[in-house]
Structure 1
Amino acid sequence: MAEFRGKVVTDEDLKKFRQRISQYEWHQLGLFDEYFLEDLIYIIESLDAQCILRELSSRKIASVEYYQSIKKQCGASVFAEMLVEDIHVSGRDAVLGFWESLYVLQNDHPHPNLLGALDELTQTDKLEQSILLDKQGPELHERLQACQLQHKQYLQEKTQNLVEHRAPGLTNKSQSFHISERYLDLIVVSSNHFRTHSQHELIATGGIHEHYLQRAQSNLERISPNRLFRWCHRKRSVPKTVLVSGVPGVGKTTLMQKFVYDWANGNLYQRFAFVFFFKFRDLNTMGKTSLAQMILSEYPYLRGDLEQIFLNPKNLLFIFDGLDESKNQVDFKSSHLCNDPQSSGDSSIIVVSLVKQTLLEGCSVLITSRPTRVAEIDVDIFHRMSQIVGFFPKQREMYFQHFFKNTLAAEKAFHYVRENGILYTFCYIPAYCWIICTVLEMSFKTQGSNDPTGFLFPKTVTQLFVAFVSNILTNHNQDVSHAKKALTELGLLAEYGLSNQALVFEEEDVQPYITNTNSHMVSSFIVESGQPPRLSYSFFHLTVQEFLAALLHYLDCSSEKLKETLTNTRSFEDGRREIFLRFISGLSDNSTRSLLKPFVGTLSAQASKDVISFLQESVTQAWNPDRQDADKRKILNVFACLAESRNKGLVSSSIGSNQEFDFVDFYLAPLDCTVLAFILESCGETELLDLSSCFIQSEGLERLAPALHNIAVLNLTNNNLRDEDMRYIHSILTNPQCRIRTLSLMNNGLTEESCLTLANAINENKSLRELDLSKNKLAGKNSFLQLLAVLSEPTCRIECLELQEIKLTPEYAAFLLSLTNNPNLTDLNISCNFFSDTGYPHIQQLILEHPSLKQIRVGMNSFSDKTENKLQQLQRQRPGVKIIM
């Protein structure tokens, strides 16, 4: 991201920075440390530990060896927390030296959180006053103090409990927990990734989420709730208008609830004397209104004080949740605005007027929305745009612990999901976590029972939702005809919603499809909101809506209608029907459909045949290995549908074996890797898989590993793999059926620590002939020499060995002589190392004495011109060996 570029810090810059921060008193520095605490921990986690420790060590603040051992033993988070705490308790000089170190680091590590913190520390003259204002709040008249207290008490009571839905039939009521017990941190970032959406937002964001997780050192700005209205480095100002985006079910409303709760309890943003929280879903029912009426309809106790409250707009925050649920067009480009809190108009005009500051100039506004709606509006007016990317792994595991309460059950459930790439990837969404936990809870209860309707452990997302629906039907004990009728009605409404991009339905929308909205069965899938006579409805989750729309075609099959739907689905370039398409593909699997048979009877086999024909046609259109311009995203979307169908025969017949798969320079999310693994397993033997620069990293490699032994040529170049990932390479190479002939691990993050594991794998492997380890930091005496020993064995089958740019120094030249013992080695690349003239005699001996060598690359090794001439002249002595400089 171009806006985050490091500056070249000169000695003069550092001198000015030192003078600036030296002016602060110790109590001010302590205040700043507390204020920036989360940022500092995140920055240290994200930066190269060696770099920050080197800077601190040069100022005699921290021991490199001690903190390196802490990081190795306890992980990056504990290391960062300990370092920040230790520096703070070390006194004023240590704290000043710490800030100086961070200031210097922006040269090579322009992390946005680092730049933002430095910016805020030096550019805002009244930082101390700003921090104290957020702690203590503005001064208010006595009457307004009493009014504020009443308002806070009301909001505290309204937001203090989180409602956890329970599977229908398990309990008569939803369970309620105090928010401090159950709230888990959601990861919020400042990003423009969601501005484009060429695929379904859940899938796209799932991929982006894992990308963020793996690339904390990239230009990712973490925005914790207490930073939403803090200094914005991009805009060079404190934002007044903030937009928070997030996919359905990711926790936008929960985040807002926690935000309001923390404000009401005095723990967040006390600079705002009053916070007003609205949902667009409720505004839909208002008709013409004014800002004053909007507030009084929600907070009637403010009637006598509202005029006084409006006198200081800078003390006010307006939160509007769910822009995507607004029935009115909220046009932020509109010039039709209002400036009087008492004047009536559409609620959308009032919202836009607040954002554009024609109404209550100086107030702050926070809006949430789905990414698809964000992509359709003019967002330039917002000072800060953020995205909720849901749970990171730690929060996912904690969610399971909270849900199951029983530690063993929680561990068993999480382990099962962790092993299933598709389910685990979607676990970044809290709503998905709830569905998955609900289904697994039922699976545990019926495991080992003789109940013929016992729940299976789901393998695909389709099976997950089939089990979820089966759970609901089990608890309602309806006969087959009633259950089928109810699901058909729900499916018709769901399909209407997808066709019209509707998430919220008024009564007039629902009546043509559903005969009884008060049915317990219907209320298991649909959430009712509002008050009579202005009720609105929505499905529990967008994905539930998409599943029921797909299930409809198996409940009430019309080949003509199904084919029309599938054709239309393919035409959507924005990917909005991608999950629907995966569900309809997943239901083509007979074993998946049969789970619903006890409840709704036999689902349509004809629909399954039509879908399989559609998938065959889709593969033909998307998959053509000879095309250079093939749309790789479309290919993976088709592959994902095949994976949901679990139809290995269909994959084998439509794609075949011995194919070449090329995904070079295409980012593969872990979910993509899971899908690709299914395709590779179904195809059997594959000639080539090129994953160069696909950014698969640890989790992606873990997902792919079970299928990679069947590849003849495997290219994993430039994927940011690490030493710990060598265990997967080991499992692949030591598979008894391994047929890998060529393996490239070039330009990853491998070090000497990976050498021993790799050596053991090569020692066991029988197929490998070409190995590329170039551009890794492998130099390191013991382990690298053990690897070299294996590569030098007379039984070693490696014919082509690439050791370019792996940090080899002159002392290694002598050890390379052992390669003369490998009678199969014909090509060797040792270019771009540091042998220099000192290493020349051994390289000369290697060239002259190796019995089978045909080509060697030795250039860019800091040789003198004289030595390079000697190397070229060796060609005459060994004409059978091609020497490339």
Structure 2
Amino acid sequence: MGRETRPEDLQGVKNSHKKSMKTKVEVVWEGGTKTENRTLLNSIYTDLYITEGPSQGTNAEHEVQQIEKKQRGRARDMAINYKDIFKPLPGQEKTIKTVMTQGVAGIGKTMSVHKFILDWAEDKANQDVDFIFLLPFRELNLIQNQHCSLHELLQKFHKELKNSEKYVDCKLVFIFDGLDESRFQLNLNTKGKCDATRSSESDTACFTVNVIIRNLIEGKLLPNALIWITSRPAAVGKIPAELISQVTEMRGFNDEQKDAYFRKRVRDGSLAEKIISQIKLSRSLYIMCHIPIFCWISATVLQAVLGKDNEKGIPRTLTAMFAHFLIIQTTTKNQKYDEGHEGNLGHQRVLQSNKESILKLAKLAFIQLEKGQILFYAEDLEDCGIDASDATVCSGMCSQIFKEESEFQLKKIYCFVHLSIQEFLAAFHVFYSYVNSDMEALRTLVTRPASWFCIKRRLSLYALLNAVVDKSLESENGHLDLFLRFLMGISLESNQELLHGILSSTVSSSESLQGTSRHIKEKVSGETSEPVSPERAWNLLYCLLEVNDTSLHEELDNYVKSNKRLSPAHCSALAYILLASEDVKDELDVDKYNTSSMGRERLIPAVKICRKARLVDCNLTETSSKIVASALQDPNSYLTELNLSFNDLQHGEEQIAQGLASPFCKLTNLRMQRCNLTEMSCRAVASALKSDSSCLKVLDLSNNDLQEPWLKHLTTAMQDERCKLEILELYNCKLTDQSCEHLASVIRSASSCLTEMDLSVNDLEDSGAMHLSQALLDDHSKVKTLKLWGCKLTDQSCAALVPALKCGSSRLTKLNLSDNELHDSGTNLLSDALADPRCKLEKLQLENCKVTDQSCTDLASALWSDSSRMKELMLRNNQLKDSGVELLSKALEQPHCQLETLQLQGCQLTARSCEALSTVLRSDSSRLTELDLSDNDLLDPGVELLSAALDDPGCKLEKLQLQGCKLTARSCETLSTVLRSVSSRLTELDLSDNDLRDSGVKRLSAALQDPRCKLQKLQLRECNLASPSCGALASAIQSNSDLKELNLSGNNLQNSGAKRLLRALREPRCNLEKLLTDSGDLVKLQRGRQQRSQPGARSCFRFPTQTYGRR
């Protein structure tokens, strides 16, 4: 092992090592060489948002938008402090040995590594660790072929180790920073013979540096050592997943951390606040600042711009910001190195005087970008005519990193301050070459022979931009994505003017950019080729943003409608684009996006620019709750409707409570179903209800266990004169009759605005209904809608409600008593009230109430009463039978009957009922427009009787539901005649769950093509249909049919059938807006192609999603 080291000597080495490491990391050189811009790390370091990362695997996509090849096995983002990188997450018991931290360039990986080391060196954290060895790959590259022992390798980086080798028995941390910069062929595996044996001499044996690193990572050398690897996402796959204990993802700054960074970075407090304020005015810039390096660039630019009180010149796009950065860095260089300049030259003259240097750097940037290189050497600079010894060239735009120790070959490494700066300069090189007709410089970007033939003469800007779009799509890792975005941005005439000191002339670009925008839209939609992958699509949409394309939202909507699976990274990008576009979105519904629960959570930041937000079941965390709360507290917020249902708000109820309490909160509609609410939440909602600024009109707290004291907070607030609440939904909240006492006091309150209450699925029982009924008698009651279904009521509740229904001051117009055991006795009591001229009831729901035909006499009498106002009657799942329907039918023929909707699903009816109802439908006095006869054995003869009436000029029926009526193709033939009739008004037809088969649908399809057919919605779920039905329906929907919605779920359509439908959707004459099918797995390759080229086309291919509705 080498010479023995005494304990006191080892401690001395430890102390020396800590001191040395502190010296290495305590200073940051921002934006230049290590001889300028010296800043203490602790003075500017701002915490970054780090989370558990995606499952490990090969990742070849561009870092701006990484697609995850393996679905994440977790439900929410878990924030991790950089100090705790080797600690298991809550609920995990595994030992963390090797950590992979991934993040895009400039996100703060190296800065976090340095802060981790600095805190350790200053005895602030991780004091159980004895030695930390920092081994950046960009420096390891210089000695990759050298042979040495582990100790010799470490001495090259840490001379303070001297001859002491006892550290191998201590707790060690090896940090390999920048895996993406590695030029090693690691060839990692977990099997086979160890290259560096585990003998007592394993640390002194000589191997190549490559072998030593490989064995350290594989755990074959110093198996107890902890390993931390950082990487850009594209290189993560170099390390096999089985070698990684934990993956973390560097997410950059959240909103609070951005502000904190600017306050630390800009010493002038008032200027810092001014910068923060200005950046927040442009959401696009504010969102971009989640990357720390962009914060630095923004701070640099805005200090210069705002320092001159030039608010009009503030850049609003990525390209404009980088153009200003170039100007400022060049101006700084002039002031520092060029004698005789006063520093007050106009920016055009500054650029002009440095034109040669900038063009050389731009050429270097482009050449190295095409090679995929971000690190280069002096000879690379010399190839572009750059003198590497000239400090004026490298100041600001390039940084140098080099070692001058005897073991290293003295060789300087060069790189741009940030990859995005290299991409910006590379894009400028291409645009400059175009402007100056240097077609040879553009040759590598135009790959098609025909295009190259044109290039010899003169390439149009439109052709160049389109060629670069196509070229960027060919890249496996997207290394040209940001380059393309910058190229389009530089082409914008306003940015050309900004760079006029280098550009000799301005090129008219509006038509070219419009044409390329169309080309991008075609690529995204897949109209002219196979649809591009999501990560490519996002970058193309970014390009539209860069050139101020106002159709961005429409393009986003079209892409999302293609129903492609979105990874969490894609959802982050989508939220970014929505935020950065500066447009206000009407609604954000995370449930509409085909993604995981984590993906839905990543969409939440877009809530800030939406009027309505439906954040249902998206695993709201404390962090995402803060985002929602900040939107509620923002005086410029547009948010008026918020649905947080099916989230456990115990993780963020304090943040939501703060948002609701804000005087700037503009919510009018708040839904919090099944949110595991606590007393704190109820207090917060109550406080919001009675605040001076309260706007809340709709409150849904259904599916929460609202204990009596908590409910009391709410009911007290609802009696406050400042409360504007109109609709209260407390479905399934474990309420009791005592709860009804509190609610009754609200109804009686003179200041209450309550007009609708849903108390369904609570054990209120008759005693609770009595409390409510008595309150409804009060002159102050404004309740119009009362829902009490499934509340364990009996006929006694009906008796209690009758006085309220007969009361002249009562405003009740809608009553739902379904799923209660009312029986005929209760129904008869209600019928008596319905016949009273003072009763204002228009809608009555008595579904599944054990009503029989014995009640129909009294119901019929109430319906034909000259004072009846009843328009909707729901009697589903009662034993009415044919005799009961015959009694009701006689009432429906009477001129005083106002009924428009009658639902008789599952009432044990036959064709005999159809005969009675057909008479009603023919009657001139009948007002019936909607009829539901589903789940009755009507058979084909029953439909024939109905069809004869539907064809009558006096029939007003528009909606007919015949689901599960044991129909065959024979009924389709009959109904097709109706659909062709000029007198038919039928617009909605439901024939689901019938044995119609292909022959029946062919007859219906033929009718749909008839110009007299008015049908807009057709339901054919589970009708034993196959591919031939698709062919018939495809012909119908592409023939200018009025059909807007078609449901074919539960049928064996097969791939060929679904493709026929998709082709039909692309036809310009197709008016279909919604197609439902469960065969999406068979047609996923065709999705994205269905958007028609006709401007404003709305056709889409959607699939059934979970809904959270109630009666």
TM-score, normalising length from structure 2? 0.53
Change (3 A) 1:527 1:638: same
Distance 1:783 1:256 in 2: 52
Change (3 A) 1:258 1:410: same
2:844 is the alignment partner of 1:881: yes
2:275 is the alignment partner of 1:413: yes
Q: Counterpart in 2 of 1:222?
A: 80
| Alignment-mate amino acid for residue 831 of structure 1 | S
Is contact 1:856–1:884 with CA below 8 Å preserved after alignment? no
Q: CA deviation at 1:524?
A: 2.6
> What are the residue-to-residue correspondences of 1:724-739 with 2, within 5 Å?
726=632, 732=638
> What are the residue-to-residue correspondences of 1:241-280 with 2, within 5 Å?
241-280=98-137
SS in 1 for 2:142: coil
Distance 2:614 2:92 in 1: 42
Q: CA deviation at 1:408?
A: 1.2
2:321 is the alignment partner of 1:464: yes
Is contact 2:20–2:160 with CA below 8 Å preserved after alignment? no
Higher relative contact order (CA 8 A, sep 6+): 1
Of 812, 821, 826, the residue aligned with 1:869 is 821
Q: Counterpart in 2 of 1:643?
A: 545
Change (3 A) 1:231 1:675: closer
Q: CA deviation at 1:465?
A: 1.5
> What are the residue-to-residue correspondences of 1:408-557 with 2, within 5 Å?
408-448=270-310, 456-476=313-333, 483-519=354-390, 520-531=392-403, 533-557=410-434
Of 571, 579, 584, the residue aligned with 2:487 is 584
Change (3 A) 1:279 1:726: closer
283-292 or 613-622, larger mean C-alpha shift: 613-622
Q: Counterpart in 2 of 1:594?
A: 497
Of 765, 770, 777, the residue aligned with 1:841 is 770
Distance 2:189 2:38 in 1: 41
RMSD (Å) for aligned C-alpha atoms: 5.2
Q: Counterpart in 2 of 1:76?
A: none
SS in 1 for 2:113: helix
Q: CA deviation at 1:409?
A: 1.3
Q: CA deviation at 1:250?
A: 2.6
Change (3 A) 1:674 1:665: closer
Q: Counterpart in 1 of 2:231?
A: 369
Of 154, 159, 163, the residue aligned with 1:295 is 154
Q: Counterpart in 1 of 2:715?
A: 781
Is contact 1:161–1:178 with CA below 8 Å preserved after alignment? yes
Change (3 A) 1:761 1:725: farther
| Alignment-mate amino acid for residue 619 of structure 1 | K
Q: CA deviation at 1:386?
A: 3.1
862-871 or 409-418, larger mean C-alpha shift: 862-871
Change (3 A) 1:345 1:620: same
SS in 2 for 1:586: helix
**Structure 2, unpaired ranges of 5+:** 335-348, 404-408, 435-458, 642-665, 798-819, 835-841, 849-1111
Q: Counterpart in 2 of 1:151?
A: 17
2:184 is the alignment partner of 1:354: no
| Alignment-mate amino acid for residue 107 of structure 2 | V
Is contact 1:162–1:179 with CA below 8 Å preserved after alignment? yes
How big is each residue's C-alpha offset from its partner over 1:187-220, in whole Å with a ceiling of 9 and x where there is no partner? Answer: 4444336768697534669xxxxx9xxx9x9461
831-840 or 720-729, larger mean C-alpha shift: 720-729
Is contact 2:747–2:782 with CA below 8 Å preserved after alignment? no
Is contact 2:758–2:788 with CA below 8 Å preserved after alignment? yes
**Structure having the larger proportion of residues in helix:** 1
Distance 2:431 2:229 in 1: 39
TM-score, normalising length from structure 1? 0.65
Distance 2:160 2:567 in 1: 57
Q: CA deviation at 1:441?
A: 0.4
**Structure 1, unpaired ranges of 5+:** 1-137, 206-210, 449-453, 793-797
2:468 is the alignment partner of 1:565: yes
Change (3 A) 1:618 1:836: farther
SS in 2 for 1:597: coil
How big is each residue's C-alpha offset from its partner over 1:394-439, in whole Å with a ceiling of 9 and x where there is no partner? Answer: 4433322222212111122223234433333333332222111111
Q: Counterpart in 1 of 2:922?
A: none
Q: CA deviation at 1:704?
A: 5.3
Q: CA deviation at 1:328?
A: 1.4
Is contact 1:772–1:803 with CA below 8 Å preserved after alignment? yes
| Alignment-mate amino acid for residue 439 of structure 1 | V
Is contact 1:706–1:732 with CA below 8 Å preserved after alignment? yes
Is contact 1:857–1:884 with CA below 8 Å preserved after alignment? no
Change (3 A) 1:175 1:805: farther
Distance 2:691 2:47 in 1: 42
Q: Which structure has the greater CA radius of gyration?
A: 2
Q: CA deviation at 1:326?
A: 0.9
How big is each residue's C-alpha offset from its partner over 1:741-794, in whole Å with a ceiling of 9 and x where there is no partner? Answer: 9977464787564567679999989xx9x99775688951233445997455xx
SS in 1 for 2:183: coil
2:577 is the alignment partner of 1:675: yes
How big is each residue's C-alpha offset from its partner over 1:593-612, in whole Å with a ceiling of 9 and x where there is no partner? Answer: 42222454445434x64443
Change (3 A) 1:729 1:271: closer
Q: CA deviation at 1:528?
A: 2.1
How big is each residue's C-alpha offset from its partner over 1:510-540, in whole Å with a ceiling of 9 and x where there is no partner? Answer: 4444533445244432222225752222111
Q: Counterpart in 2 of 1:318?
A: 174
SS in 2 for 1:556: helix
Distance 2:118 2:580 in 1: 45
SS in 1 for 2:147: coil
Q: Counterpart in 2 of 1:80?
A: none
How big is each residue's C-alpha offset from its partner over 1:546-575, in whole Å with a ceiling of 9 and x where there is no partner? Answer: 222333333222544442221122345765
Distance 1:447 1:462 in 2: 22
Is contact 1:817–1:845 with CA below 8 Å preserved after alignment? no
Q: Counterpart in 2 of 1:617?
A: 519
Q: How many corresponding residue pairs?
A: 699
Distance 1:337 1:157 in 2: 34
Distance 1:147 1:564 in 2: 59
Distance 1:643 1:375 in 2: 31
Distance 1:669 1:772 in 2: 28
Q: CA deviation at 1:816?
A: 7.0
Distance 1:822 1:229 in 2: 56
Is contact 2:359–2:429 with CA below 8 Å preserved after alignment? yes
SS in 2 for 1:249: coil
Distance 2:224 2:554 in 1: 65
Q: CA deviation at 1:541?
A: 0.9
Is contact 1:190–1:223 with CA below 8 Å preserved after alignment? no
Q: CA deviation at 1:285?
A: 1.0
Distance 1:424 1:141 in 2: 53
Q: CA deviation at 1:249?
A: 2.0
How big is each residue's C-alpha offset from its partner over 1:474-514, in whole Å with a ceiling of 9 and x where there is no partner? Answer: 33456656645544443343334444432222345444445
SS in 1 for 2:180: helix
Change (3 A) 1:357 1:647: closer
Distance 2:308 2:765 in 1: 70
Q: Counterpart in 2 of 1:858?
A: 788
2:738 is the alignment partner of 1:811: no
> What are the residue-to-residue correspondences of 1:4-23 with 2, within 5 Å?
none
Is contact 2:31–2:417 with CA below 8 Å preserved after alignment? no
| Alignment-mate amino acid for residue 568 of structure 1 | K
Distance 2:215 2:274 in 1: 52
SS in 2 for 1:527: strand
Distance 2:232 2:795 in 1: 63
Distance 1:240 1:275 in 2: 14
Is contact 2:106–2:293 with CA below 8 Å preserved after alignment? yes
SS in 2 for 1:503: coil
